[in-house]
Each structure stands twice: as C-alpha cells, then as structure tokens.
Amino acid sequence: MSLEISRPARDMIAAGQLFHQRGWVPATGGNFSARLSSDRMLITASGWHKGELDDSAFLVADLDGAPEDRSRKASYETLLHCQVYRFDESVGSVLHTHSVANTLLSRRYESIRLAGYELLKLLPGIATHDAAVEIPVFENDQDIQRLASRVNDHMKKVAMPAYLIAGHGLYAWGSTVAQARHRVEALEFMFECELRELENKR
C-alpha cells in the first residue's frame, strides 16, 4: 500500500475502532472516506464492520463515486461523500456514524440547535462557547443520489458544519481524518448531552 493511501487508511482504521468502542457504528453501520487529490478519494468498501477495518477494507474512487477497480463495491452511501468533497474543496475527510443519540434526536427534530457548549469550538468558525449552530436533519432516503442532491441544495442556501439523516445518522467532515474525527466526537458528545437533558425533563 502506497504512503498516499496508508496514512489516511491508518487514521480511518483507528477512528473505526474508537467509534465502535463508543457504540457509534453498530453492525456494519457508518462509512468513512479521505480525499487523496482534487478528484479522488479513499473510501470504505460496502458492508464492513467499522470496528474491524484493515487495509483491504478501502478502495480508491473518483468523485462521481466510481471505484478505480470496478470489481470492488464502494460504500452504499458513497455519493454523500462525493457531494461534500465537490461542494467544498478544503474538505479532506468525511465520517458517518449511527449512534443512539444522533438516531433518537434525528427522529424527533427537524434540526438540532446546539448552544452554549465549550465543544462548539471544534466546529468551523466558532471560537467561544457563547455560540449556537443548527444541525439540519434530512429525511432518510434509500435513493442516495436523490438524498445527496437534497443535501447539496440545502448547503447552497445554508452553511452547516455537519448534518443528520432522520433515524439514520450523522455526516461530519474536516480538513483531515483527525479533524473530522474530533468533530464527530464533539458532536456526539453534545447530542448525548441534549438527549440526557430531554430525558431529565420527562
């Protein structure tokens, strides 16, 4: 495996193990990618357990989602990764999780407002806890092309640091795998806080 591929693969393998330990990628849920160049990415193959990734779990695809090796099957949600890379050329990694907190909140709200958290500072353009962000929730859809196009239309109108798919999971990104992972960790922490707050109000 070339150095170009082995570094992001190593970081995504480590992210998968961490997310699995936290319960954020049950069964074969979740998928990960890293940009390799302006028009290529390394992405998880479909159907892998994300806590058990190894070098063979990744494949190179273009930003239309076509694998270089046509015999390989990229993630079912590849086009959602392509959409983010195409929308913002500074994005270097996209990570997707299926946690209990993000799933429950996304089933309940049309968007999640996160305000007053110190960890908001992990998100782009935020330098203080005294801030708020809206994380939009999109209706789930097995037609990933149609879902990617809905996300794209919304992104053109409203800046977002991440988004949720209802009853499904979180998509977050960053300039590197490490930054995307930190953002997933921060968002999952804040979602967990929101969920517990909600439960305490009952």
Ligand X SMILES: CSC[C@@H](O)[C@@H](O)C(=O)COP(=O)(O)O
Closest-approach residue to Zn ion (CB)? 169
Could you tell me the smallest distance in angstroms from the CB atom of residue 27 to Zn ion?
Answer: 10
Q: At what angle do helices 177-201 and 100-108 cross, to 10 degrees?
A: 60
96 is in an annotated binding site: yes
- In 3D space, the residue among 134, 106, 135, 131 whose CA is nearest the CA of residue 119 turns out to be 131
**Residue 39 · residue 62 · CB < 8 Å:** yes
Number of Cβ within 10 Å of residue 140's Cβ equals 14
Report the side by side order of strands in the sheet with 40-44: 58-62, 40-44, 31-37, 93-97, 169-174, 162-165, 132-138, 111-115
Residues 6+ apart with CB under 8 A from 83: 148, 149, 151, 152, 155
Could you tell me the smallest distance in angstroms from the CB atom of residue 57 to Zn ion?
Answer: 16
* Interface region with ligand X, contact rule CB under 6 A, candidates 26-34, 121-129, 153-161, 174-182: 26-34
129 is in an annotated binding site: no
Q: Is 30 in the site for ligand X (CB under 6 A)?
A: yes
Q: Which of 14, 17, 20, 28 binds ligand X (CB under 6 A)?
A: 28
DSSP per-residue codes, 69-107: STTS-B-TTHHHHHHHHHH-TT--EEEEE--HHHHHHHH
Q: Is 102 in the site for ligand X (CB under 6 A)?
A: no
How far is residue 118 from each of residues 162, 178, 190, measured CA to CA in Å? 17, 19, 10
Among ligand X, Zn ion, none, partner that 76 touches (CB below 5 to 8 angstroms by kind)? ligand X
Residue number, 96 or 119, with CB nearest to ligand X = 96
Q: Is 29 in the site for ligand X (CB under 6 A)?
A: yes
Applying CB under 5 A, the residues found at the interface with Zn ion are 169
Residue number, 46 or 124, with CB nearest to ligand X = 46
Could you tell me the smallest distance in angstroms from the CB atom of residue 121 to ligand X?
Answer: 28
Q: Which of residues 42-101 bind ligand X (CB under 6 A)?
A: 44, 46-47, 75-77, 96
Q: In terms of C-beta distances under 8 Å and separation of at least 24 residues, what long-range contacts does 128-131 make, across chains too? A: none
Among Zn ion, ligand X, none, partner that 56 touches (CB below 5 to 8 angstroms by kind)? none
Binding-site residue ranges: 96, 98
Residues that bind ligand X (CB under 6 A): 28-31, 44, 46-47, 75-77, 96
Binding-site residue ranges for Zn(2+): 96, 98
